């Protein structure tokens, strides 16, 4: 090994604490990058392979009822590769001994195995056989959550009549990677499941002989999706087509895509913060190191080493740190990625999901580490390169202090000499002080921006479950009903209040913008449901015209006062122009609202009840649920309390698992920054500290010089940290938002406090560790060496 | 000037019998670096008389600085006993040793050791802030002739001026003892004389005991006594009945 490389190795060893502190920050960037991009790629690879293997459709359509012959006509549309029709039927599932409203979505499958799209992957057992109408395949997640297995039996109320189903298979399908019943905010795998039954059996049970109500098809390469959707809509119009849609509007696909987008957002925000801090730290440490090694640099150059040999030597210091960080970060990234993949495997229904990271991800992560370290090293390295031997070997000019604004500040504040030492040192090295303040602020900001997601969830929980939805039960019906059904429900003992609600599928068109959504309505004086604005205020239903959610309005580029065209999808096709009455800020979905009268005008029928919202006497819950389950017209029941619990459970799980990582990652920055600042400060001021000791100052008083500066910089970083956190949080909230839902930006004041406390603790702990050096200060040795 | 025995308890300073400031018995200091041991002091017995000017001469590595650091409470002996007045220094904790320095000792070093971020006056104030009976920083600076440079930072002062600030800082607390390690080592003769005059003035006006390490044998002429160090011990002690003024020193 060359002498210069030996020196590099020894320097690294000598400064191992500082080097490691930087490496950990850099490793956090690498780890986040590897983990988020790795999980992202793994999910996409898995999804695409799954879609391809099981022939997931490109376009989907629901209709009231169409003859099977429509499939052949759809197949003949130009650009359509394959088409397949099926029956999809919601049902209520009963478990003996449990009074829980459980819903199922039953899909028909061909008993002869002739299906070509959205194929079921069997985990166990077999598909339903011809002539065995009681056979069903159950989705794996639902089966696991409810302890169902092959040969198990469940009672299902399908289309108003009770059927006993025998489970012959456990499986999953690409159109149900994510499954959530309509109108629900969170998936609850124990209360909503996907079933598959033979076509003949389901035709019989739902009175749809040779008829279908769902269609999916694949496209030939290069076909325009929009054209085919239009053609399919035309074909399905007479059959109550609710409008065909592509993958991007498919619930399962969209939820997965939403998750993928969030992972991407994570990759875009967090690693850059860590990379920035690392570059700063490398800059500060290397500049100081080159400063102290001036004479050595001069000497080595005098021996005949080239400028670039010296430059390379110091760059090597930074690159060695990046090297350690890449390995450390990659290992941590793989480990964390595995954990997160396991969480995804629990909530998404994949037949296989392995965390595989392609080599380019590691290379890119390492490349970023090296780039950040190299960039940080640049300033110092160029100084070393430019230094001429003669200049380098003469002692550096003493640090010049001037009576600047800090001095005036000092006079005003009546500082002691120690106070002056602290303040003037900060002012003397503004870049380094700024790096420390910025670094700690970024750490606080990052922690805050992650922690406020919990506030966002809580706020969403509050708005959605406590203010917008106040019903105990939601009852959906097989078909829209007239108001008589409300009386029927109100007669059930224990039902306190019944309110109707209805949603109709429409396409809203404004200028060149068109969007499919649902218009919902309820009674004017509704007590069980409400529209809540982002600021928490109640938004009343407009007497005339539409109330649009902000997201929908933005999509349509419509403002209050504009007129939009509303086309009814499904059933009769009506079309009309309606004014936009006002806009409401909502977090979930992109919906429109109208009065019952307006809705009736759009729908053109006299059946105002799609869903009934019930308030019940809690003591009567079980008999009510039993009675609702037995009513033939009831399609399904959902319980607000259960959804709330589920949502709360998700928040709690997030708190326990993610908070640890947030705190660990943010602390890594704070510790890295404070440790390096304190070490540099100590080495720079060792001489002065020793002098103070000689003059009769106690170690604890001398430590104040060190801790005072760190404390001052840390305190200065607090407001900046809150500001950075506020900005980062808004950025991440925006990046995490999708068509499905948006996160409210509702940070609690206490969240700022917690972020600050965590970072302060990390800073104080680190500074305390370094300040122990003051107690070990060897005055004689320090003073013997000339400053 | 005449030679004296090394074990005398009382020494004459200007013909007056004075009290003992420091008394050392069998003072030994061994530095260990790795496997090698360096005997910096080998069982030294001595007394330092209160109010005298004592010069320590000797080649590099003969133990002068170790001696000075130990009596000043910056370092501890490996063995032996050391008292200041009635205080046994070897028994003191780190904390009490610091209090001893704070109360009694003023240090002056070859390289000034001023705090670069503090003005001359603030450097002196460092000491007056924690001393029990200090003079004002302004007065200390006036004593060394730097009243008009009080608000200058070290980088704005010449070497001699910086060393005089160091002297002012050392005398500001009115210490009983001034310990000076090569105070003129980095200065030219004219500046060196000014610094020595400042030390002599402190001795004269405040009765301070002054111990000076120097390589400059001429400075010994201003001392009451001279310890000649060799190989970690005091080889001989020379008394000087007629100390001269710093200005008369042949540099």
Written in H, E and C, the secondary structure of A530-542 is CEECCCCCEECCC
How many CB atoms are located within 10 Å of the residue A519 CB?
24
Residues A258 and A241 in one domain: no
Q: Would strands A575-584 and A546-549 be described as parallel, antiparallel, or unpaired?
A: parallel
Q: Does the distance separating the beta carbons of B94 and A697 come in below 8 Å?
A: no
Positions in chain B whose pLDDT score sits under 70: 1-18
Q: Angle formed by the axes of helices A359-386 and A251-292, to 10°?
A: 20
Question: So what's the pLDDT on residue B1?
Answer: 45
Q: Name chain A contacts of B103, Cβ cutoff 8 Å.
A: 696
> Is residue B26 helix, strand or coil?
strand
Which of A417, A418, A692, A697 should be substituted to probe chain B, the one whose Cβ sees the most B Cβ atoms within 10 Å?
A417
User: Within a domain: residue A632?
Assistant: no
Based on the fold, state whether residues A647 and A687 are members of the same structural domain. yes
Site from B33, B65, B116 to mutate, A interface, most A CB atoms within 10 angstroms: B116
Instruction: Determine the pLDDT at residue B9.
Output: 40
What separation in angstroms does the CA of A314 have from each of A23, A162, A282, B239? 16, 78, 11, 57
- Looking at the DSSP bridge assignments, the partners of residue A121 are A172
Report d(CA A750, CA A752) in Å as an integer: 5
Same structural domain, A207 and A72: yes
Shortest alpha-carbon distance between residue B219 and chain A (Å): 22
Residues of chain A with confidence (pLDDT) below 50: 787
Beta carbons of B126 and A695 less than 8 Å apart: yes
Q: For A492-550, what is each residue's pLDDT tens digit?
A: 999 999 999 888 888 899 999 888 888 988 888 888 888 877 777 888 888 888 999 88
Nearest CA in chain A to B75: A780
Asked if B130 is an interface residue toward chain A (Cβ–Cβ < 8 A), one would say yes
Best residue of A686, A696, A700, A782 to probe chain B, by most B CBs closer than 10 Å: A696
Q: Give CA torsion, residues B160, B164, B170, B171, to 10 deg.
A: 150
Q: How far is A423 from chain B (nearest CA, A)?
A: 9
Distance to chain A for B113, nearest Cα, Å? 6
B118 neighbourhood in chain A, CB within 8 Å? 417, 420-421, 424
pLDDT (0 to 100) of residue A412: 53
A395, A419, A438: which is the final residue of a domain?
A395
Kindly report, residue by residue over A454-489, the tens digit of the pLDDT.
888 888 888 877 778 888 998 988 777 888 888 999
CA distance B115 to chain A (A): 6
What pLDDT was estimated at residue B3? 47
Supply the pLDDT for residue B18: 63
- Give A-chain residues touching B116 at CB under 8 angstroms: 398-399, 401, 688
pLDDT of residue B11: 41
Coil/strand/helix, residue A165 = strand
Residue A480 contacts residue A610 (beta carbons within 8 Å): yes
Fold held by B2-244: Rossmann fold (3.40.50)
Comparing alpha-carbon positions, the chain A residue that sits nearest to B72 is A694
Residue A686 shares a structural domain with residue A734? yes
Q: Which residues of B touch A403 (CB under 8 A)?
A: 119, 151, 153
For an interface test with A, give the residue of B95, B100, B117, B126 to mutate (most A CBs within 10 A).
B117
Residues A385, A407 within the same domain: no
Residue A483 has what pLDDT?
84
Q: Which residues 6+ apart lie within 8 Å of A509 measured at CB?
A: A556, A564, A565, A566, A567
Which of A372, A395, A418 is at the close of a domain?
A395
Residues A66 and A147 in one domain: yes
> Which of A577, A597, A616 is the last residue in one of the domains?
A616
Chain B residues with CB-CB distance to A786 below 8 A: 111
Whether B69 contacts chain A with CB within 8 A: yes
Residue of A nearest to B121 (CA): A417
Instruction: Please check whether residue A486 lies inside any domain of the structure.
Output: no
The whole-number pLDDT of residue A404 equals 59
Claim to verify: residue A331 and residue A448 sit in the same structural domain: no
Domain ranges of chain B: 2-244
Whether residue A737 is found in the same domain as residue A775? yes
The alpha carbon of A9 is separated from its chain's Cα centroid by a whole number of angstroms, namely: 42
Q: How many CB atoms within 10 Å of residue A411?
A: 11
Query: Do A785 and A655 belong together in one domain?
Result: yes
Measure the CA–CA gap between A65 and A73, rounded to whole angstroms. Answer: 15
Q: Is residue A479 part of a domain?
A: no
> Do A192 and A281 sit in the same domain of this protein?
no
How many structural domains does chain A have? 4
**Statement to judge: residues A149 and A205 lie in one domain:** yes
Task: With beta carbons less than 8 A apart as the criterion, state whether A216 and A118 touch.
Answer: yes
CB B180 within 8 A of CB B212: yes
Would you call B99 an interface residue with chain A, using a CB distance cutoff of 8 Å? yes
Angle (nearest 5°) at CA A484 between A481 and A490: 110
**Which H, E and C letters describe B80-92, residue by residue?**
EEEEECCEEHHHC
Beta bridge partners of A565: A509, A577
Residue A540 and residue A502 share a domain: yes
Q: Domain range for residue A100?
A: 57-248
From start to end of chain B, where are the E strands?
A: 2-4, 12-13, 16-17, 20-33, 36-49, 53-57, 79-84, 87-88, 105-108, 177-181, 209-213, 225-230, 233-239
CA distances to A49, A119, A265 from A28, in Å? 31, 41, 16
């Amino acid at each position: 090994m060359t002498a210069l490389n030996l020196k590099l190795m020894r320097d690294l060893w000598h400064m191992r604490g500082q080097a490691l502190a930087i490496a950990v920050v850099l490793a956090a960037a690498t780890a986040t990058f590897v983990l988020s991009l790795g999980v992202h790629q793994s999910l996409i690879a898995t999804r695409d392979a799954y879609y391809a293997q099981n022939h997931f459709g490109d376009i989907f359509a629901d209709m009231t009822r169409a003859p099977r012959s429509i499939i052949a006509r759809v197949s003949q549309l130009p650009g359509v590769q394959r088409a397949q029709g099926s029956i999809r039927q919601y049902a209520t599932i009963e478990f003996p001994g449990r009074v829980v409203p459980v819903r199922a979505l039953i899909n028909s499958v061909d008993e002869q195995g002739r299906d070509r799209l959205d194929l079921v992957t069997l985990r166990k057992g077999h598909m339903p056989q011809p002539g065995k109408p009681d056979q069903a395949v159950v989705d794996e997640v639902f089966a696991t959550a409810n302890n169902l297995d092959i040969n198990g039996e469940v009672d299902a109320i399908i289309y108003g009549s009770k059927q006993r189903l025998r489970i012959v298979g456990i499986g999953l399908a690409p159109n149900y990677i994510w499954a959530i019943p309509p109108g629900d905010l969170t998936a609850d795998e124990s209360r909503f499941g996907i079933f598959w039954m033979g076509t003949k059996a389901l035709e019989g049970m739902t009175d749809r002989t040779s008829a279908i109500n769902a269609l999916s098809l694949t496209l030939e390469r290069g076909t325009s999706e929009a054209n085919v959707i239009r053609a399919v809509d035309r074909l399905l119009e007479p059959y109550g087509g609710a409008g065909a849609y592509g993958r991007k509007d498919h619930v399962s696909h969209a939820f997965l895509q939403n998750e993928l987008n969030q992972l991407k957002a994570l990759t875009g925000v967090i690693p850059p913060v860590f990379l920035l801090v690392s570059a700063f730290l490398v800059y500060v440490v290397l500049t100081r190191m080159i400063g102290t090694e001036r004479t050595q640099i001069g000497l080595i150059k005098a021996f005949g080493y080239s400028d670039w040999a010296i430059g390379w030597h110091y760059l090597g210091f930074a690159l060695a740190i990046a090297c350690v960080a890449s390995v450390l970060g990659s290992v941590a990234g793989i480990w964390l990625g595995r954990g997160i993949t396991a969480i995804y495997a629990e909530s998404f229904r994949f037949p296989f999901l392995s965390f595989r990271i392609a080599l380019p991800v590691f290379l890119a992560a390492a490349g970023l580490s090296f780039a950040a370290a190299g960039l940080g090293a640049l300033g110092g390295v160029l100084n070393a390169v430019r230094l001429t031997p003669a200049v380098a070997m003469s002692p550096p000019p003493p640090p010049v202090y001037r009576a600047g604004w800090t001095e005036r500040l000092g006079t005003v504040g009546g500082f002691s000499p120690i106070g002056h030492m602290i303040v003037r040192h900060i002012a003397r090295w503004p870049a380094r002080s700024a790096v420390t303040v910025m670094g700690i602020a970024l750490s606080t900001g990052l922690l805050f921006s992650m922690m406020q997601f919990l506030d966002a969830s809580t706020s969403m929980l509050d708005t959605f479950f406590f203010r917008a939805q106040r019903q105990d039960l939601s009852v959906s019906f097989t078909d829209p009903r007239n108001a008589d059904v409300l009386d029927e429900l109100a007669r059930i003992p224990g039902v306190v209040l019944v309110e109707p609600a209805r949603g109709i599928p429409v396409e809203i068109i404004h200028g060149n913008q068109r969007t499919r959504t649902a218009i919902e309505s309820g009674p004017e004086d509704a007590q069980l449901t409400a529209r809540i604005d982002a600021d928490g205020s109640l938004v009343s239903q407009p007497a005339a015209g539409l109330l649009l959610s902000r997201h929908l309005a933005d999509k349509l580029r419509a403002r209050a006062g504009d007129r939009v065209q509303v086309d009814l999808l499904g059933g009769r096709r009506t079309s009309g122009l309606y004014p936009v009455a006002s806009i409401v800020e909502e977090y979930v979905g992109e919906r429109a609202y109208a009065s019952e009268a307006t809705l009736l005008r759009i729908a053109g029928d006299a059946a105002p009840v799609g869903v009934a919202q019930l308030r019940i006497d809690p003591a009567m819950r079980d008999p009510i649920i039993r009675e609702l389950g037995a009513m033939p017209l009831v399609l399904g029941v959902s319980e607000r309390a259960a959804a709330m619990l589920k949502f709360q459970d998700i928040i709690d799980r997030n708190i326990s698992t993610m908070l640890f990582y947030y705190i660990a990652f943010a602390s890594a920055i704070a510790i890295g920054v404070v440790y390096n600042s304190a070490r540099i400060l100590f080495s720079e001021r060792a001489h002065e500290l020793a002098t103070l000791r000689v003059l009769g100052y106690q170690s604890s008083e001398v430590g104040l010089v060190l801790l005072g500066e760190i404390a001052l910089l840390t305190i200065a970083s607090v407001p900046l940290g809150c500001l950075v956190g506020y900005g980062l949080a808004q950025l991440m909230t925006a990046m995490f938002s999708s068509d499905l839902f948006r996160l409210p930006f509702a940070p609690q004041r206490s969240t700022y406090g917690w972020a600050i406390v965590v970072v302060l603790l990390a800073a104080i702990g680190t500074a305390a560790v370094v300040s122990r050096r003051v107690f070990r200060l060897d005055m004689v040795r320090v003073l013997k060496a000339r400053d | 000037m005449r030679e004296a025995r090394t074990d005398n308890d009382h020494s004459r300073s200007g013909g007056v019998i004075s009290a003992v400031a420091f008394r050392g018995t069998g003072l030994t200091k061994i530095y260990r670096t790795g496997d090698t041991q360096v005997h910096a002091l080998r069982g030294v017995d001595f007394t330092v008389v209160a109010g005298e000017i004592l010069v320590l001469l000797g080649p590099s590595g003969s133990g002068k600085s170790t001696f000075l650091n130990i009596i000043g409470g910056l370092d501890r002996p490996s063995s032996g006993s050391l008292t200041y007045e009635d205080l046994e220094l070897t028994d003191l904790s780190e904390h009490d040793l610091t209090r001893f320095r704070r109360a009694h000792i003023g240090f002056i070093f070859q390289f000034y050791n001023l705090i670069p971020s503090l003005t001359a006056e603030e450097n002196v104030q460092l000491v007056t802030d924690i001393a029990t009976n200090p003079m004002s920083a302004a007065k200390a600076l006036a004593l060394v002739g730097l009243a008009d440079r009080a608000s200058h930072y070290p980088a704005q002062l010449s070497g001699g001026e910086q060393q005089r600030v160091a002297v002012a800082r050392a005398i500001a607390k009115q210490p009983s003892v001034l310990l000076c390690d090569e105070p003129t080592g980095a200065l030219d003769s004219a500046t060196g004389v000014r610094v020595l005059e400042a030390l002599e003035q402190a001795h004269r006006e405040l009765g301070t005991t002054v111990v000076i390490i120097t390589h400059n044998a001429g400075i010994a002429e201003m001392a009451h006594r001279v310890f000649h160090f060799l190989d970690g011990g005091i080889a001989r002690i020379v008394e000087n009945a007629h100390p001269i003024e710093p200005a008369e020193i042949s540099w």
